[in-house]
Chain A
Amino acid sequence: MDKMPKWADVVLIPLVSLCLALFASGLVVLAIGQDPVQAITVMIKGALGSTSGIGYTLYYATNYMFTGLAVAVAFHARMFNIGGEGQAAISGVGVAVVLLAFDWPHWAIALPFAILGGGLFGAVWAAIPAYLQARRDSHIVITTIMFNYIAAAMMGFLLNGILKNPDTQVAETVSFPAGAHLPTIHEMLAPLGIEFSKSAPANVSFLLALFCAWLVWFLLWRTRLGYAIRAFGHSPNAASYAGISAFKITMIAMIISGALAGMLSINVVMGEQERLIKEFVEGAGFVGIAVALMGRNHPIGIILAALLFGMLAQGGFELLWEMPGISKEVVLVIQGMIILFTGALDYMVRKPVEKMFIRARKGQN
């Protein structure tokens, strides 16, 4: 009874949407008097044309996987967690506190504690809106947005106060001990004799992101808790009939969501900056929403969507650099176009493709 094969749903439709988005973006580039083919080429080359480009793409993609997974877990429990931005920011404090507390001898020892610290802080920041939703009926969308602002203010307060490096004028902490340095992809591949750009920030967190994606899949589709989360997400009425506690599911799903958003700090704060700066999340929390939507809230979809958004981010920076005629705003338009076509206008592509399949099937019979 399925209307079309799964591969069409998962691969074909996003691909068609992507082509349409690129076409529409081309028109915009054309309208401002630039060469669209050159623009696309620069973007693709910038994102994938060199190991440095790939390294940056993977670095951004790692962030988007974490925040995308965070949004997806909450979404499966029927909650729209807009607060990934704030949860990630606060998690940075957790990571910084852990890493500054000791002179860590080796990254492999530091990492689990940093994950714990970052995850805990992110989870707490998500748990407060979750509690307000579960017990006080305050809408999670509103509260998580507000908590983004509170988080931003909190970061300013902490980094200008107790966490501030006294030796500089900048709102940042002192650098983490050298023993907390995470291996970059360059360092990981070098022993294998594979050359990889030294400058690219992609690090071992990429593997952590892939592991988290598997973990989310396992949680949602193999465990009893995941079963309850999905049941509650599809139908709260049915969940209460079955004796699944709305309070418990709301809290647990948001805590997991916040902890996942918090993993972004492992990639950025521990892996790249090696100190805590004020605005290190840079909108990745919001991109996570688009990533989750495009990835259909499924870990595999999220990995693919995160890679695409990573390419867009890196390609966009390259475009700014290579083509001075294209401003930052135009890059945003192109990125927005892709989100629009793959997310909001999905139905526009889906309907004709579905019809096509039905017609083809009828032809066969």
Chain B
Amino acid sequence: MAVEHLQERQETAAPAIELVGISKAFGPVQANKDISLSVARGSVHGIVGENGAGKSTLMSILYGFYKADAGEVFIGGVKTPIPDSSAAITAGIGMVHQHFKLVENFTVLENVILGMEDGGLLKPSLAKARKLLQELSDEYELSVDPDALVENLSVGHQQRVEILKALYRQADILILDEPTGVLTPAEADHLFRILDGLKEQGKTIILITHKLREIMEVTDTVSVMRRGEMTATVKTKDTSPEQLAELMVGRKVLLQIDKKPATLGAPILEIDNLQVIDHKGVERIKSVSLTVRAGEILGIAGVSGNGQTEMLEVLGGYMKATGTIRVNGVEIDLTGKHSDGQSRRHRGIAHVPEDRQSEGLIMEFMAWENMIFGYHNEPAYNKNALMMDNAAISKETEAKMERFDVRPPNPRLQAKNFSGGNQQKIVLAREIERNPDLLLVGQPTRGVDIGAIEFIHQRIVELRDQGKAILLVSVELEEILSLSDRIIVMFDGHIMGERDPEKTDEKELGMLMAGMETSGGAA
């Protein structure tokens, strides 16, 4: 009862952070519109919203990266201007970025003290940091070897270093930006335990995420942002994922996909004993064999970096491998000597790559130029041996953009000016409309807003129902579970196991993703 009493007292005290009337525009784009937010001390406050809703902008203002056009920030009830990040640190704000800001070839200790060295010699600050790290790791399960090089740490541990860095700077308020994007479910659970511990010590935590499940699990209150505005702030226990999704998108959203049972056809893709050694000599894929049949979606789950990327690149024709791969019963060349992305396309393989911004699209190219990317040698797109038929391509692009609901439907707009979801729709339109026998899809909905996710999933299922084979790679377990007809889990370059999505759950898949055997193996 004492704890409850304490929380009550804290909630009546001045809020840890109060934002009043924050606005920020980038050119003509209003990223934040008159946002007011109050975060109680000692609470976990979630902020959800689609990409481009203005979450990151708001946090960047709070951390001093951007200057707000209007509005004020109060920390602990005191008006605090934050012109830069060092002012934010002084005010007790710590930030764990989505992409870690660590020096890879420094040790944990060196990273922790970086920028906070007392005096010209490192030794005293290193000793001080070592002592503090020891205390913190005992207190919050934040154990990391202080002398390990950051590059040798797992992603989960690297994230702990980021948290330690913030705590070393005496942060009272911790902002975490999409912290679980790169973690296994087990690592994420561990992170949430750490956050709980921090909360009990009176720290305030702001969690930015697009995963509604996490919001429901760990936050006390949640704010929803849409198009630069704060549309709602509710107590987590009074809301539901469906309600939050609706608040984010502004309309009702189907979180679960309706799909018929698969009608299996002949094997389209047969991989036998595939092995990939990258240019550094590291074995990325160790003897993988699998089959994808017509009319089914095979989902490959796994934490990123366990061989899935290489698998897609080998199939896409731009990574060398050994072993055999047959498509429609015909073997394809894996040496790279007689094949490339072009020859794979001729074989009826279409590929939606994991990273649309660096692979799937040329961001500086206009939509119509991107709509033929990879197929630009097709006679239909060329007037003669030399010239492309720009007008015809443009016209076809317009039709495809309409069918895939790409907004705005302007073929002359550069790819970088579309939102993440619309960029992905351009790639999907290009690959699916080729009517391929085999579709490779990597992270189809990464950085895509909820409304578009629904659309993209439907299109993938539609293609399956037309009797095509689909190989899906995703780090989102929800996506894997809801789309796949079969699931394979990859860990450290090999297949940990195959499961039936109807007979497994996130927990079991999570253990496989972490390299632990489970009992429920399928044949």
Contacts and interface: CB of A to CB of B under 8 A. Distances in A.
A235 B373 CA distance: 12
A234 B387 contact: no
A223 B387 contact: yes
A224 B376 contact: yes
Interface of B: 27-28, 316-318, 340-345, 351, 353, 355, 358-365, 369, 373-374, 376-377, 382, 386-388, 390, 413, 417
Contact of A224 (B316, B318, B362, B386): B386
- A-B complex: 10 closest residue pairs judged by Cβ atoms: A243-B341, A243-B342, A242-B374, A243-B340, A241-B359, A240-B318, A234-B362, A237-B358, A234-B364, A238-B359
19 contacts: A1-B413, A224-B376, A224-B382, A227-B369, A231-B362, A234-B362, A235-B358, A237-B355, A237-B359, A238-B358, A238-B373, A240-B318, A242-B341, A242-B373, A243-B342, A243-B345, A243-B374, A358-B28, A362-B28
Contacts of A354: 27
A3 B29 CA distance: 10
A222 interface: yes
Nearest to B29: A1
A228 interface: yes
A245 interface: yes
Contacts of A227: 369, 376, 388
A362 to B, nearest CB: 8
A135 interface: no
Interface string A1-18: 101000000000000000
Contacts of B362: 230-231, 234-235, 238
Nearest to B358: A237
Contacts of B387: 222-224
B181 to A, nearest CB: 21
A361 interface: yes
Contacts of A225: 386
A241 B364 contact: no
Given A1-B413, A1-B417, A222-B388, A241 B365 contact: no
Interface string A344-365: 0000000000100010011000
A357 to B, nearest CB: 9
Interface string A229-268: 0110011011011111100000000000000000000000
B52 to A, nearest CB: 13
A227 B365 CA distance: 10
Contacts of A238: 358-362, 373
A229 to B, nearest CB: 12
A241 B28 CA distance: 34
A362 B360 CA distance: 35
Given A3-B27, A243-B342, A234 B363 contact: yes
Contacts of A231: 362, 365, 373
Given A231-B373, A241-B360, 19 more contacts: A1-B417, A3-B27, A222-B387, A224-B382, A227-B388, A228-B376, A235-B359, A238-B358, A238-B360, A240-B341, A241-B341, A241-B359, A242-B341, A242-B376, A243-B318, A243-B342, A243-B345, A245-B340, A362-B28
B440 to A, nearest CB: 11
B369 to A, nearest CB: 7
B408 to A, nearest CB: 9
Contacts of B413: 1
B386 A223 contact: yes
Nearest to A354: B27
Contacts of A1: 28, 413, 417
A231 B369 CA distance: 10
Contacts of A244: 341
A241 B316 contact: yes
B384 to A, nearest CB: 10
Contacts of A362: 28
B276 to A, nearest CB: 15
B316 to A, nearest CB: 6
B424 to A, nearest CB: 15
Nearest to B410: A1
A222 B390 contact: yes
Contact of A241 (B27, B369, B374, B390): B374
B24 to A, nearest CB: 14
Contacts of A224: 376-377, 382, 386-388
Contacts of A245: 340
B388 A223 contact: yes
Contact of A243 (B317, B353, B369): B317
A226 to B, nearest CB: 8
A230 B366 CA distance: 12
Most chain B Cβ neighbours within 10 Å, of A223, A234, A238, A240: A238
Nearest to B418: A1
A244 to B, nearest CB: 8
Contacts of B340: 240, 243, 245
Contacts of B417: 1
A234 B387 CA distance: 20
A266 to B, nearest CB: 24
A224 B379 CA distance: 11
B23 to A, nearest CB: 14
A196 to B, nearest CB: 37
A354 B340 CA distance: 43
A361 B28 CA distance: 9
A252 to B, nearest CB: 13
Contacts of B374: 241-243
A241 B351 contact: yes
A241 B340 CA distance: 8
Contacts of B342: 242-243
